[in-house]
Amino acid sequence: MSISVGLGSYLLVGAMLFCLGLYGVFVKRNIIAILMSVELMLNAVNINFIAFSRFAPWASPGTNPLIGQVAAIFVIVVAAAEIAVGLALVIAIYRNRRTTNVDEFNWLKW
């Protein structure tokens, strides 16, 4: 007996990871934890890209099966650039404010 994992299973895992990342963005107060939650959301999108490229109806033998993988690699590259810029901003903010707590950022208040 063979157990096959279908598209629905991958989409469920991707949705759970995305919801977990969204929860982290809304609940966490540390900016580094918020950045990690955003990365978790981007990884959930990558899982969906790869799953759709493997199981989608348009992924017939005559089409290019690498479309989802290329999209996932693009998201990984953008996420790496985003994390580099984000950590640079966190370091600059920490040098000025001596905190990474989001609740204490009040630059735009009158």
Nearest to 94 by CA among 30, 33, 11: 30
CA-CA distance, 46 to 56, in Å (whole number)?
A: 15
Predicted pLDDT at 77: 94
Predicted pLDDT at 58: 63
Predicted pLDDT at 80: 92
Give the predicted TM-score (pTM) of the model.
0.81
Domain 7-104 adopts which CATH fold? Answer: Helix Hairpins (1.10.287)
Looking at residue 73, the DSSP 8-state letter turns out to be H
CA-CA distance, 64 to 61, in Å (whole number)?
A: 8
- In sequence order, the 6+-apart residues with CB closer than 8 A to the CB of 60 are none
- In sequence order, the 6+-apart residues with CB closer than 8 A to the CB of 61 are none
Coil, helix or strand for 93? helix
100 within 8 A of 31, measured Cβ to Cβ: yes
pLDDT in tens, the chain (110 residues): 778 888 889 999 999 999 999 999 999 999 999 999 999 999 999 999 888 888 876 656 666 667 778 888 999 999 999 999 999 999 998 998 888 888 887 776 66
